[in-house]
Amino acid sequence: MNIPFNFRLTDFPVEAETLRLEVREFLSSALVDVPKETRAETWYGADEGFSRKVGERGWIGLSWPTEYGGSGRSAMERYVVLEEMLTAGAPVGAHWIADRQSGPLIIRYGTPEQQEKILPGILRGETYFCIGMSEPDSGSDLAALRTKAEKKGDKYIVNGTKLWTSGAQRCQYMIALFRTSKEEDRHGGLSQFIVDLSLPGVTIRPIIDLAGRHHFNEVVFEDVEVPETMLVGKEGDGWNQVTAELALERSGPERYLSSYALLQELIKEFSERNDYEGVTEIGRQMAHLTTLRQMSVSVAGMLNDGENPALEASVVKDLGAVFEQDLPNIAHRLMDLEPDNQGNDFQKYLAILTQISPSFSLRGGTREILRGIIARGLGLR
Amino acid sequence: MTDETSQLLSDTAEKLFSDHVTKNCIIDAEKGTWPDELWSEVIANGFNLILVPEELGGVGGNWMNAGILFKASGRYQAPIPLAENIVASYILSLAGISQPQDSILTILNGAFVAEKDLLSGSSPRTPFASHSTHGVVLYKDGSDLKVGLIKIDKNDLKDSNNIALENRGHIELDKASLIENSKVDCDSNLVKKLGALMRSNQMSGALESILTQSVRYANERIQFGRPIGKFQAIQQDLAVLSTHVAASSVAADYACSSMDKGNPDFAIAVAKSRIDDAVSVGAGIAHQVHGAIGFTYEHGLHFATRRLWAWRAEYGSGSEWSKVLGEKAISNGADKFWPSITQGELDI
């Protein structure tokens, strides 16, 4: 067998490094009032005012083509904006999904009407999207989903429930995957829709997570009338469209930077200690982080060149989640300080990240699913 | 070199090693036999001179090209000092010294001092010392840093080997004559850094080898009526191994590319540290998947895993290089941590 991965080093162009400095400059003043608790959550922390400011700078839809209102810049430049935002702890959660995958999906498969109606609001940092994939009986086994969209005249009538929908409470739209027909092939008969969450029959119920936060939701559809003009792409092509979307979802810097704030805080703590084990461990984590970044940047380069790095993206996400999840445990072992929401900065970060770290290998594809994809790439399945 | 010539280099190395590095070749080398035919082929292709500029009779390639050869030699567990000769001839070329005809070079690693061109000092665990004709050494002469060339005298050498049964000789010099020497403007810790760079790349290659062997074995070995690779437990383990193989390859490339950009200190430390971790996880999984057969001398998996276990400790262990990174991160301060990663710089 040959090694099926195609990672190759990708350099950032000069203009990306210039942009990096602009972003750092912007963030040095824009984040002054953002509390530590929000910073620790990076792309799960939401601040609509902040999103609008990012939109004003033209940093949402940065790599979208100019004919769609984007800045037409490279995926590498976009990557720089993202990693600078995440490492600074910017509350990018409101616009994150729309910028990352809903906008690109609408550009790729959407109709001109959909594009005109929706893209400008995304670019301004005012229109937000959530992802409607998982359901009560359809988690890792996505193709088992049951929410039905039945064609009736010029509408689809939707009935069913989406679950674990992050951020739905602040989003205007959901990109939803519904079953539009019964097919022998489980992957057939699925279609993607843009669903206006203010439509009658849509109920959004909060699900509080173990840390007491409201991120998740249950979104129930009861005879919701979705206009046929809100179908994205072709009816029955949903599975293929979603699969392409996942490469965008799985390889970005958010897949290894979730615990970054804790690592930075550890360095602060260790500047006052002389501890061989701690110093060595920090260096070790730095080596892991640097390598993950080179891998993730390499995937961005492949996306920029129009390739489909689905396998490489799964590798980045799996390794990235292991790294992010190790950090709270390592920090605990080295510091021997209690996680405490009322403690010092280190203790606050430790409290939040210890509790939310189990989600890192669940969201966006579980560890086991990713490793299954990789095993298939190796020729084992 | 262009992408095309890099591909050609890669194809040539693959063909050469797959033809000549047979199991018997490695076994014989472990018993002390020098693989003459393999070495002649490597020399005939000029692999050892990949980094020597054309005007000094070399190939004029860069470190990414050298990385291709380091990785290939590791992938096939070629029992020859190709990596060492690439690095040694590079160090000679830095000082403008040409390599003697038909020489096999080793690199001395230790504290050496010279007085009137007579060199003293010791180099423990010198790679392939007993097969080498000459040694390349970086040493202090007063306040000058110099590159010197010595002839290996068997009387100065005490033989030993690493756990992969690669020759590692202890060289003790007491006022040995330098055949050639010249002042050089480079990092005084260059030997260790380049050693870490070459071993990182060789380990990346050897990790690829244990992955391909493990996947092949999992697809062939039948238990409970089907290939063991059909079991999810095995699939998940092999997936984990492959993620570490991928990370190691990227870390090794990053170090080579940073060397080409003249800014390698950060990336070399990252590579040696990261790949050390990959070895710990990867070798364990490869052996677990192979079961008892992989634990026998008869089966060849250990040619790669024993090298990995030896190489991860050479030229600074992962912990040692992690400490270099960690100390800098702390002295730079938390605010400069991220910029040092985006710039790939230790000193920022």
What CATH number does the domain containing B29 carry?
A: 2.40.110.10
Q: At what angle do helices A260-270 and A276-304 cross, to 10 degrees?
A: 150
Q: Is residue B14 part of a domain?
A: yes
pLDDT digits (tens, 9 = 90+) for A8-17: 999 999 999 9
Yes or no, beta carbons of B330 and A271 under 8 Å apart: yes
Record the pTM.
Answer: 0.96
From residue A25, how far is each of A41, A85, B71 by CA, in Å?
21, 11, 41
Point out the domain boundary residue: B183, B216, B244: B183
A249: confidence class by pLDDT, cuts 50, 70, 90:
confident
pLDDT digits (tens, 9 = 90+) for B55-65: 999 999 999 99
A228 lies in the same domain as A267: no
Average confidence score pLDDT of chain A: 94
A89 lies in the same domain as A202: no
Q: Is residue B20 part of a domain?
A: yes
Q: Is residue B103 part of a domain?
A: yes
A34 lies in the same domain as A74: yes
Tokens read off for B35: 């693989």
B274 Cβ under 8 Å from any chain A Cβ: yes
Q: Is residue A244 part of a domain?
A: no
* Cα–Cα dist B176/B178, whole Å: 7
B283 Cβ under 8 Å from any chain A Cβ: no
Question: In this predicted structure, what is the pLDDT of residue A236?
Answer: 94
Yes or no, beta carbons of A3 and B333 under 8 Å apart: no
Domain at A231, CATH number: 2.40.110.10
B157 lies in the same domain as B200: no
Instruction: Give chain B's domain count.
Output: 2
Yes or no, beta carbons of B215 and A265 under 8 Å apart: no
Question: In this predicted structure, what is the pLDDT of residue A253?
Answer: 95
Tokens read off for A95: 């616009």
Give the angle B191-B196-B197 at the CA atoms, nearest 5°. 100
Q: Is residue A2 part of a domain?
A: no
Yes or no, beta carbons of B334 and A319 under 8 Å apart: no
Domain at A333, CATH number: 1.20.140.10
Q: Which residues of B touch A282 (CB under 8 A)?
A: 322, 325-326, 329-330
B229 Cβ under 8 Å from any chain A Cβ: yes
pLDDT at B293 over 80: yes
Instruction: Give chain A's domain count.
Output: 3
Yes or no, beta carbons of A264 and B236 under 8 Å apart: no
A123 lies in the same domain as A141: no
B10: confidence class by pLDDT, cuts 50, 70, 90:
very high
DSSP code of residue A99: I
Residue/partner pairs of A347-355 with CB below 8 Å, 24 or more apart: A348/A36, A348/A37, A348/A40, A349/A36, A349/A40, A349/A261, A349/A262, A349/A265, A350/A262, A352/A37, A352/A40, A352/A41, A352/A211, A353/A40, A353/A258, A353/A259, A353/A261, A353/A262, A353/A327, A353/A328, A354/A328, A355/A210, A355/A211
CA distance B269 to chain A (A): 8
Point out the domain boundary residue: A95, A127, A159: A127
Q: Is residue B348 part of a domain?
A: no
Point out the domain boundary residue: B139, B154, B183: B183
B286 Cβ under 8 Å from any chain A Cβ: no
Yes or no, beta carbons of A380 and B235 under 8 Å apart: yes
Q: Is residue A246 part of a domain?
A: no
CA distance B319 to chain A (A): 6
A114 lies in the same domain as A157: no
B3 Cβ under 8 Å from any chain A Cβ: no
Q: Is residue B113 part of a domain?
A: yes
CA distance A270 to chain B (A): 7
A and B: number of Cβ contacts within 8 A: 170
Q: Is residue B247 part of a domain?
A: yes
A288 lies in the same domain as A184: no
- Pick from B215, B246, B247: CB nearest A380: B215
Question: In this predicted structure, what is the pLDDT of residue A153?
Answer: 97
* Amino acid of residue A131: I
Domain residue limits at B30 = 3-183
- Pick from A87, A279, A291: CB nearest B270: A291
B100 lies in the same domain as B195: no
B164 lies in the same domain as B223: no
Domain residue limits at A38 = 14-127
Q: Is residue A156 part of a domain?
A: yes
Question: In this predicted structure, what is the pLDDT of residue A274?
Answer: 76
Interface mutation target, options A21, A294, A311, A381, chain B, most CBs of B under 10 Å: A294
B25 lies in the same domain as B149: yes
Average pLDDT in the B18-30 region? 98
A37: confidence class by pLDDT, cuts 50, 70, 90:
confident
Question: In this predicted structure, what is the pLDDT of residue B1?
Answer: 63
Tokens 């969201």 belong to which residue?
A363
A227 lies in the same domain as A298: no
A266 lies in the same domain as A211: no
B45 lies in the same domain as B112: yes
Q: Which residues of A touch B236 (CB under 8 A)?
A: 368, 371-372, 375
Average confidence score pLDDT of chain B: 97
Q: Is residue A6 part of a domain?
A: no
Q: Is residue A113 part of a domain?
A: yes
Q: Is residue B278 part of a domain?
A: yes
B321 Cβ under 8 Å from any chain A Cβ: yes
Q: Is residue A242 part of a domain?
A: no
A30: confidence class by pLDDT, cuts 50, 70, 90:
very high
B13 lies in the same domain as B28: yes
Yes or no, beta carbons of A378 and B215 under 8 Å apart: yes
B213 lies in the same domain as B176: no
B147 lies in the same domain as B278: no
Q: How far apart are the first and last CA of chain B?
A: 31
Find the DSSP H helices in chain B. 3-20, 23-30, 36-44, 63-75, 82-94, 190-220, 232-260, 265-290, 301-311, 318-332, 337-343
- Pick from A280, A315, A318: CB nearest B326: A280
- Pick from B215, B245, B273: CB nearest A284: B273
Q: Which residues of A touch B326 (CB under 8 A)?
A: 270, 278-284, 286
Point out the domain boundary residue: B132, B161, B183: B183
Domain at A80, CATH number: 1.10.540.10
B233 Cβ under 8 Å from any chain A Cβ: no
B13 lies in the same domain as B162: yes
pLDDT digits (tens, 9 = 90+) for B102-159: 999 999 999 999 998 899 999 999 999 999 999 999 999 999 999 999 999 999 999 9
A366 lies in the same domain as A308: yes
pLDDT digits (tens, 9 = 90+) for A296-344: 999 999 988 989 899 999 999 999 999 999 999 999 999 989 999 999 9
pLDDT at B2 over 80: no
- Pick from B254, B327, B337: CB nearest A264: B337
CA distance A192 to chain B (A): 31
pLDDT digits (tens, 9 = 90+) for B150-208: 999 999 999 999 999 999 999 999 999 999 999 999 999 999 999 999 999 999 999 99
CA distance B13 to chain A (A): 16
pLDDT digits (tens, 9 = 90+) for A44-81: 889 999 999 999 999 999 999 999 999 999 999 999 99
Point out the domain boundary residue: A80, A105, A127: A127
Tokens 């929401």 belong to which residue?
A341
* Burial of B147 (C-beta count, 10 Å sphere; 0-12/13-18/19+): buried
Q: Is residue A7 part of a domain?
A: no
pLDDT at A183 over 80: no
pLDDT digits (tens, 9 = 90+) for B31-67: 999 999 999 999 999 999 999 999 999 999 999 999 9
- Pick from A8, A294, A319: CB nearest B243: A319
B238 lies in the same domain as B272: yes
Q: Is residue B52 part of a domain?
A: yes
B265 lies in the same domain as B146: no
Question: In this predicted structure, what is the pLDDT of residue A49?
Answer: 95
B141 lies in the same domain as B11: yes
A107 lies in the same domain as A142: no
What is the predicted ipTM?
Answer: 0.97
Point out the domain boundary residue: A172, A205, A237: A237
